[in-house]
Structure formats: C-alpha cells, structure tokens
Structure 1
C-alpha cells in the first residue's frame, strides 16, 4: 500500500502558533505521511525552529504535485483563499487548520489537529464542492493568471471620495448603472464575507446562484440581486480618476476605466474536506453567534 502523500501551504504567523505546527509535523511523521511543502512557507518555518529537512517543495500551480492525496492549509480564511489559487482545477481535496480568527473556510481548530488528521488520513470525511468565479478582459491577464475567486470579485473606487458608475449587463441585457462605491459579485462561499457586510444575503453552497451586491449605493432602492450561476456579467466603469480597483479574493489591481470586464462561473470547482459533524448551519451558528444573547447568561 502506497504511503499517504500530502501538500502543505501556509503563510507567516506569530510565534504563539509554533507549538501547534510542531504538533502537526510530529503527528504526520508518526503516521508516516510523505510531505510536500510550499517553498516560501518552508523557508519561514526553518526560521522558527527545528523542522524536518529535505522535504520536497512546490511554489505555484505550475509545479504543484498532482499525486498528493490532499492539500492542508495552515492559517486563516485568507490563507485558504491563497491555497485555492494553487490547487485550481487539480481536484485535490483541501482542508484548513484555523490559525486565524473567524474560520469559515479553515474550520479545523488548532486544538483538534490530531483528531482531525486521524479522520482525514483514515478517509473519514466528505467532499463539499464549491463554485468559483473568473474575471477576464480581452487582451489582458489579471493577477498573473490567478483570476479565479472562491469568495468574490469586486470593482471598487480608486483613491477618491467620489462614487463611480458601474454599467452592468447580464447575459447581454442591460441590468443597471450602479452609482456606488463599488460592486461585489460573490459566490455562495463568499456570501458570508464582504457581501454580507454590505447587506447581501447568505446563500448555501451548492445553491446554483451568485449574488451581485452594491457597496454604499447612491440609490437606496438598489438592492443585492441573486442571479443564476450560469450568468455572464459584463461591467464597464466610469470614474473621475479614470481608474478603478479590481479585487479577486485577496488580490487587487488598479485598472483604467477603458477595461471591459467579463465575470462568470469558473469551469471547475474546488473540493473542500468536511469532517463528521461539520455541518454548514453549525458553522453559521458558531461563527455568526446565532442564538447567542447576553441576556441568557
């Protein structure tokens, strides 16, 4: 029987996390798991203490090993978003250990590393497929080709207090001209992130929808709009500065207003590992404090 082989990805973290990372490595060695690790993260770990030498490495999607059994993300939700940009269409399952704060995506608590790893290594989990968005423009490449978003794609005003106007067409039909600070196009996964803070609805993964949420719209009767995931959204921006900001999860670029954006569903999904008892509504209750009331305590 071939040994289990996993990929590890993470970013910088403070020293308080070191004991949990050491626990992770010791346990993986105990289970005789082969490790392939992101090169920059590996160099960072070596500055934090004694970590195993001679591990195989990868640096991007191009050299990411396709023969690993799953990908483990060490950090918060932002780290998980970066992990997705490496995994892309490989269909490698992804799990996240939460070293951050909220933990919607990276929902394995650092105090439960051994228990979670036992379930994952023994294949006691299910896969939840999550839809993604892509953003394109004719003759342009965004974010060095990492133009896929698990949470959201946003168009925002650049370096001014003035609103921008975003002309939107949905499947070729005029939708609206949004006078606002920006516009968020969110997946069901991203519906609990930036979109939610701007008044957008929560959508269940697998619902087959995206949501278009304006940021501080001038016309208060312009509300978030739930659309089919089969849509193609075309955006053209007007701005006094002649520029606007395009974001794709945690990445951003400043673009001229001559840029015409096309946003649509990505041709692949990402496979998130979910453990036993790890239900979507349980996550909502815990992270959004549903049912919590200080008057009850």
Structure 2
C-alpha cells in the first residue's frame, strides 16, 4: 500500500480540476491519495488526514504547483525523510520534475520502481538575541537578512567560523545552498553552483562597497551575520516565504542542516542542460527589446 500525499496550489489550479484528475489517477493504480481537509473541501476526493498527521502518514509527497509550492512542502517533508515529486503548474520550474501531462508515466514509473531520489542539501538558521535562541528555521534555497521596505541600506557584519569577513552596507545578505544558487542569489550576482555539490554561498544584495563579492565556502563552515543597524525594518526570511523581524545586535547563525530534501526523479537530465533550457524560457518571457509598456 503506497500512500501519496497530494499538496496542490489552487491559485494555479482554480477549482482543483487538475488536482482531482491526478487524485483519480493515483486511485486507479491502487495507491492511496491523502489530502488535507482544506483540499478535500475543494476537490471532494482522496482520504482526509489532519494536518498534524499528514506528513507522517505519507510514503511520497506530490506537490502540484511551481517551485514556490515545492519549497514550502520541502521544509515539512524533510523532517520525515519523505521523497517529493514536483508536478509543474508554474512558469519556470527548476525543482519540479514533471508536467501535468506526464503524470501517467510518472505514476507507472513509481509503481515499477523506475525512479531515483536526489538528495539536496538544506540550510539551518538560528536567531540569537542577547545569547538566547529565539527560533530555528530551515530552508532549501536560501536564508536572507534584508531590509523589509524603504529605499535605504542596512549594515551587517559577517563572520565565518568566528573570523571577521567584512562589514556590509547593502540591501542585505543571502546565504544560499547550491540549489538556491539559481534563485535569488543569481539575481543578486552570485555564481551558479551544481546542486550535487555541498557548500555555502554568501552573496551580498546590492552592496554599497566595491570589494563586496560573493563567497563560496565549505558546507561544514558556520556563517554568522550580526545586525549592526538600529533600523527596526530588517527581516530574516527563509526561501522568501517565511520571515521574522531582527534587531540591532541579533546574530543569525547559518549552517548546513542535518536533514535533506529528497526529490523524486523520473528522468536523468543534465543539470547544465536543464539550466540552459530554463534560462532560455526565462528570456523568452521578457518583452521584446525596444518595446513599450503594454497598456
């Protein structure tokens, strides 16, 4: 008996039409689709499981949406070591594995055992205030300490393994995993890193300094970021989705997490082939050079 947790993003599937079809295909193959109560209210299908029991009841998690939906699910699934299959309903889809049109093949491959699981390194951030741990957060892509609003810079001190690295007047600082190197960090000018590697990537966001550059360091290292700004308008965010305010003197300690995200892979694409294809897709979405703003 294979229990498959189904996590849809209804903003990309209004009315749950595609989600209902996928749930039916899971049932047709003798597997058991598990859904949260709020999902059942929309599609009226699948076995309802309470939120606190959902992940521990699953053998696989199917995420229906884009990379953002998958990131949110991955932070929960990693606690239980669950393999996650991303089904793309978004635009770019670096992390999602299959399109909705490929779901039959994906289900048959899982039943036949014709798949593999790719391990992705995750990050852990601890927020320390006056020596006390305020919270611990996990991320698959990145940990950001950045201004929440207003057109002004903030000031951050960065240490690696206790050694002072630099003082950054900037919009903020990112610590990314190799997976996250193609996300926010890439937009901030950071390098692209093969996700099969294990390392930490430190990228300043719009630094107001000529010598501030991205740094790649060992995955066993500890990066500590100290808020040196009196502003109350600074946030610690994980994967751009969850955030907590930070204040002057707060220390954010980022390390490799003890858990990993396990991504189900049906195909065996080259990372660099995928990178080329996705970057081409991203460029094709831009308006033509010289074109005006559409009314």
Bin for the TM-score computed over the shorter chain: 0.7 to 0.9
Q: Cα gap change, 1:285/1:202 in structure 2, threshold over 3 Å: closer, same or farther?
A: same
**Alpha-carbon distance in 2 for matches of 1:65, 1:21:** 18
Of 43, 56, 61, the match for 2:48? 56
Query: Does the Cα contact within 8 Å between 2:159 and 2:224 map onto a contact in 1?
Result: yes
**Alpha-carbon distance in 2 for matches of 1:247, 1:182:** 11
**Alpha-carbon distance in 2 for matches of 1:40, 1:189:** 30
**Large movers: runs of 4+ above 6 Å:** none
- Mapping 1:151-162, distance limit 5 Å: 151-162=141-152
Q: Which residue of 1 aligns with 2:97?
A: 107
Structure 1 position 251, deviation (Å): 1.0
Structure 1 position 16, deviation (Å): 5.7
Deviations 1:196-242 (A, max 9, x none): 01111111123121210110011133111111111111111122424
Q: Which residue of 1 aligns with 2:4?
A: 6
Query: Does the Cα contact within 8 Å between 2:6 and 2:64 map onto a contact in 1?
Result: yes
Q: Cα gap change, 1:168/1:15 in structure 2, threshold over 3 Å: closer, same or farther?
A: closer
Deviations 1:222-267 (A, max 9, x none): 1111111111111111224244111111111222223211111101
Of 266, 269, 286, the match for 1:278? 269
| TM-score, length basis structure 1 | 0.87
Structure 1 position 276, deviation (Å): 2.4
Where structure 2 has 5 or more consecutive residues not aligned to the other structure, the ranges are 289-295
**Alpha-carbon distance in 1 for matches of 2:232, 2:94:** 36
- Mapping 1:219-238, distance limit 5 Å: 219-238=209-228
Where structure 1 has 5 or more consecutive residues not aligned to the other structure, the ranges are none
Structure 1 position 22, deviation (Å): 2.7
Q: Cα gap change, 1:141/1:97 in structure 2, threshold over 3 Å: closer, same or farther?
A: farther
**Alpha-carbon distance in 2 for matches of 1:15, 1:104:** 19
CA RMSD, Structure 1 to Structure 2 (Å): 2.2
Q: Which residue of 2 aligns with 1:118?
A: 108
Of 42, 47, 50, the match for 2:40? 42
Q: Which residue of 2 aligns with 1:269?
A: 260
**Alpha-carbon distance in 2 for matches of 1:14, 1:100:** 7
Q: Cα gap change, 1:274/1:245 in structure 2, threshold over 3 Å: closer, same or farther?
A: same
SS of equivalent residue, structure 2 residue 158 = strand
Query: Does the Cα contact within 8 Å between 2:123 and 2:138 map onto a contact in 1?
Result: yes
**Alpha-carbon distance in 2 for matches of 1:120, 1:17:** 27
Matched, 1:83 2:79: no
Q: Cα gap change, 1:22/1:12 in structure 2, threshold over 3 Å: closer, same or farther?
A: closer
